[in-house]
Chains A and B, each alone.
Chain A
Amino acid sequence: MILNGLFEQELKVVNIGLDSFQQALEQAGFTAVQVNWSPPAGGDEDVMAALKKLGL
């Protein structure tokens, strides 16, 4: 099966980042869910490294 059958499926998009990309897809008649994303640990690299170490 090519690419797990992607070309035969209805495209359903999760958008993480610029919300205009999600809006454009909806405007064009496609399904897209926006994620209200923020960087892990508020963007603090040290805290992030520690969390990764802890497997979180």
Chain B
Amino acid sequence: MFVIGIKKSGEYYDSVTLMLASRDLLETEGVDDAAIVMGTEENLQLLKGSGLLTEEMSGAGDTDLLIAVKAADEKLARETAGRAEEILRESKRKRAEAGAHLPRSLEGAVKMMPDANLVVISVAGRWAGDVARDALKRGLHVMLFSDNVPIETEKELKELGREKGLLVMGPDCGTAIINGAPLCFANVVERGEIGIVAASGTGLQEVSSVIGNRGGGISQAIGTGGRDVKDSIGGIMFLEGIKALAADEKTRVIVLVSKPPDAGVIDKTAAAIKEIDKPVVAILIGGDPVVLKEAGAHPADDLEQAGLIAVALARGEDPDGFREELSRRAEEIRKTAKAEATKMKDGQVHLRGLFSGGTLCDETQLLCRETIGPVYSPAPIDPAYKLDDIWKSRENTVVDLGEDEFTVGRPHPMIDFSLRKKRIVEEAADPSVAVILLDVVLGYGSHPSPGEELAPAIAEARKRAAKEGRHLTVACSITGTALDPQDREKVNRELAEAGAVVMPTNAAASLLAVEIVKIRRGGE
């Protein structure tokens, strides 16, 4: 293998252009790995981790473009790198043509649309803060998709937003639904009476999809970004979001979704809940909801339950009414697990979870911990289970392929399935693997046809295992609704035809996976 690195000073490209160009290179026969990125400190670390950092890149800074190609031989590496430069030049030309009639600044856009009320910002983190501040000063609500915004900037922006009565969703806010509009990565759900405040992106998507699929509707779904519920930010937007939904006449039930907030924020949230005369449902992934329960909230065990409780409350039904239905389904899942496990060969005992949604990955880790014990992960709940090499699973492993270390120079795994497809086939080659667990997230922003993308890899993985006499279960969950652009039913069918066992939610698919592991370990 030969690695070539090129540094081009002072050439700026946005991350999507770079990702698309990287993807183009990765599809070249004989090219093992490739990345085109700006030379930020973070990217340099990531290139180093992937073995793509070369001497030519030394001293690179934020405004330097870096091209790295790892190929079978030097000639191919050089040719491919040369092609990268061509692709980028061409995209710059096309963009200049397409963008000629567009405003070049927020000021210009507001002149064009004086009644604009919300700005979605997804520029690189080091500029996102300035753009957001400008928006707030103009009286516009903000959704900050960008990450890598300094925490002090986040606090300053959120304090300014609170003072002016403006939303500051994010930084690192991937999804929201405001006035029925799906923002960034969001599912299409009918409008209704349930309002959500979420400090977790895929958590919000899963809960809103469950609500939609159950026939419920969303009034507003406000994202805050994960750091909002930490003491450093103090839950500013989480609390403002609760306040807004409490006062909103169209919202009858409020759902709170978050990874465990810091203690100070939990207390403030509990105090806010006590003031509200609407039912509140809380799902704190991995956290103890006792304080919120004492404050009067309905605690949920997982994301699916949070959605089901909310729909029942909005209809004035018994919030525990779904439990019998879920326990019947759990019985069905156990039967399926048994049928799958019976076909397996000695030694097939492990689970491999390959996720695109961070919160879904967390949810699975938690279920595993309670049932089959801690699992290995690049971001484990139990630090002793940190995966040494993120590219190689061991025993029971779950990975979130949307984590930064996997996405250097690549689009997010909800958009680009190449990494996940490769890894599915790799995991299948391991004779100790009994079940591969996947999440498929639909909605705006995600890949337009995930079923078509994943099906060949699932079929290939199962075929390879079968060649060696193994039956491999691939358990898939789908996060999304029938109204999403991808068509949930079609995706379901494509995955099932490839041999996957498709489950309606991550909680259900994870249960199937752990039940299989339990049976295969024997004695359970």
Known: A11-B118, A13-B116. Contact between A1 and B165, CB under 8 A?
yes
Residues of A within 8 A of B248 (CB): 2, 7
> Contact at B182–A17, with CB atoms within 8 Å?
no
Given A7-B250, A25-B181, does the pair A14, B140 have CB atoms closer than 8 Å?
Answer: yes
- From the candidates A12, A15, A39, name the one contacting B124 in the complex (CB within 8 A): A39
Whether A3 lies near B244 (C-beta < 8 A) is yes
What is the chain A residue whose CB lies nearest that of B122? A17
Knowing A28-B188, A35-B109, A36-B102 touch, does A4 contact B120 (C-beta < 8 A)?
Answer: no
Alpha-carbon separation in the docked complex, A2 to B116 (Å) = 17
| Chain B residues positioned under 8 Å from A31 (CB to CB) | 113
Tell me the chain A residues, 6-56 only, with Cβ under 8 Å from chain B. 6-7, 9-18, 20-22, 24-25, 27-28, 30-40, 42-45
Query: Residue on B with the closest CB to A45?
Result: B62
How many whole Å from A43's CB to the nearest CB in chain B?
A: 4
Q: Does B178 contact A (CB under 8 A)?
A: yes
**Bound: A10/B63 CA distance, A:** 39
The CA-CA distance from A28 to B444 in the complex, in Å, is: 9
Q: Which residues of B contact A30 (CB under 8 A)?
A: 181
Q: Are A3 and B141 in contact (CB under 8 A)?
A: yes
Cβ of A14 and Cβ of B110 under 8 Å apart? yes
A interface residue count range (under 10 / 10 to 19 / 20 to 34 / 35 or more): 35 or more
Residues of B within 8 A of A36 (CB): 95, 99-100, 102-104
Contact yes or no, A12 B188, CB < 8 A: no
Nearest chain B CB to A11 CB, angstrom units: 4
Closest to B62 in A: A45
B505 within 8 A of A: no
Residues of B within 8 A of A25 (CB): 181-183
Interface string of B59-78 (1 = CB under 8 A from A): 00011000000000000000
- Give the complex CA separation of A4 and B444 in angstroms: 27
User: If A31-B113, A44-B10 touch, does A17 touch B188 (CB 8 Å cutoff)?
Assistant: no
Give the CA-CA distance A15 to B119 in the complex, in Å: 6
Whether A11 pairs with B117 at a CB distance below 8 angstroms is yes
Residue numbers in A under 8 Å from B118 (CB-CB)? 6, 11-14
Partner of A21, one of B122, B166, B250: B122
Contact (Cβ within 8 A) A17 B146: yes
The answer to whether A4 touches B244, judged by C-beta atoms less than 8 angstroms apart, is no
Q: In the assembly, what is the distance between CA of A33 and CA of B107, in Å?
A: 12
In the complex, A4 Cα to B247 Cα: how many Å? 12
Instruction: Answer whether A16 and B179 are a contact pair too, CB < 8 Å, given A3-B141, A28-B188, A43-B63.
Output: no
* Distance A36 CA – B145 CA, assembled complex (angstroms): 17
Please indicate the chain A residues that have their CB under 8 angstroms from the CB of B295 in the complex: none
Q: A4-B166, A18-B16 are in contact. Are A33 and B179 (CB under 8 A)?
A: no
User: In the docked arrangement, what's the CA distance between A14 and B132, Å?
Assistant: 12
Asked if B509 is at the interface (CB within 8 A of a chain A CB), the reply is: no
Task: Determine how close the nearest CB of chain A comes to the CB of B135; give it in whole angstroms.
Answer: 8
* Alpha-carbon gap, A24 to B127, bound state (A): 23
Residues of chain A contacted by B140 (CB below 8 angstroms): 14
B279 at the interface (CB under 8 A from A): no
Contact partner of B119 among A1, A4, A10, A14, CB < 8 A?
A14
Closest partner residue, chain A, to B95 (CB atom): A36
Smallest Cβ-Cβ distance to A13: which chain B residue: B118
* Cα-based distance from A6 to B140 in the complex (angstroms): 10
Task: State A15–B109 Cα separation when bound (angstroms).
Answer: 9
Within 8 A of A (CB), among B137-164: 139-141, 145-146, 164
Judge whether B220 is part of the interface by a CB distance below 8 angstroms. yes
Interface residues, chain B, with chain A CB atoms under 8 Å away = 10, 12, 14, 16, 62-63, 95, 99-100, 102-106, 108-110, 112-113, 115-124, 127, 130-131, 135, 139-141, 145-146, 164-167, 178-184, 188, 219-220, 243-244, 247-248, 250, 444-445, 485
Chosen A-B contacts, 20 in total, with CB atoms closer than 8 Å, are A2-B248, A6-B178, A6-B179, A9-B179, A11-B118, A11-B181, A13-B183, A15-B119, A17-B122, A20-B445, A21-B184, A24-B444, A28-B188, A33-B109, A33-B112, A35-B102, A35-B105, A36-B99, A40-B127, A43-B63
Give me the interface of A with B, judged by CB distance under 8 Å. Answer: 1-4, 6-7, 9-18, 20-22, 24-25, 27-28, 30-40, 42-45
Name the 6 nearest CB pairs between A and B, nearest first: A17-B122, A36-B99, A36-B102, A24-B444, A43-B12, A11-B179
